[in-house]
Structure 1
């Protein structure tokens, strides 16, 4: 019989947090259950009081990164295999908003004089999404080679369609001399750094959340304001 009492046990969120740190540092294949004990100062076998396997540990780490409460799960947590986790993550990905500002800009373009406002809305929308989900996205990226089905769930169902849409939008709006797709992707990368990688970069510790969000809002605007095409001679 599986235990359900938590008397004397740490909150499951602490175990999930330790697992999240290990998986994002080492990937899925190299992370061992004993690593969680070392992370939390417990005996090597102590993690098995909370999860029955490394797959179950990854499951709660992914849910924790997505902001899903873990308090109702019976202990030790068990999953049949990683396919169960992939299904849970697919459900989370499908629940994410489908870029209303970008969608509106594609379906109903603003007048040229409102382009700056339109670009700011799209950039801010991306920043806010990445700032809210960055830990889960980092986990996706770090374990993609070990769990290809997880990469498919995120990349093919969410990231790839978004990239295609924003490149399309940028190409319609850009009237400069540079390569539109490369510029659009560079803007996304800049916003991604501000929303995600800045948080783990010691050299960026002085940048506040407000400053980062404001800078992100300017990224696409600055790229769209590149020098205009020269008239043909």
Structure 2
């Protein structure tokens, strides 16, 4: 009997298995992984520069992995903070995957790292589908992108544990409608915290770091409703895909 297999869902299922393994290993070492996602030019790297510097000033052990299709420019910028930084070149792939991240962390992530920042590829479409084994998913939206960004990318913003508005120092100049942005975020992800920041002036940066450290200490993290729907969909698809298999299904080994 022939059955149609959804290749994309099979790929995501394997990624999710690897993400579960990586999340467990990071937790064993007391490391909180933070997956930062945004469009290109939203200010992820500038935000990370400040966060790494301030974390180190407070004596917090932090490291960063930054992903790009090409060049190591971002890694060089972040390394100036003094924190351990690793560049991942995806060679054209528009997102990171759990197995890819795990391979780059193996043998590199310093023991005792408390905060691991993962700067995903600049893209709000593909990365939204891939669990990296992160503790929290942070989605950035800059004031230059407009207040309707959450409505245009509901999956990315709808799966966020935290939303950060960047470049607020120029909000007035670009006529950014802050209240509308907040409404649109809550429309796709009710209850998610939204923080306003400026890497240039430092506004909101200490508050953001405080929130991340509270999460690292076990404070409740916002759980988006869309995440439960996504997990249920994957579970239902997995059951349907393997219903009637003659051979038992063996999950892929989690990379070490």
TM-score after normalising by structure 2 = 0.24
TM-score after normalising by structure 1 = 0.26
More helix by share: 1
| Structure of greater relative contact order (alpha carbons < 8 Å, 6+ residues apart) | 2
Report the structure number with the largest CA radius of gyration: 1
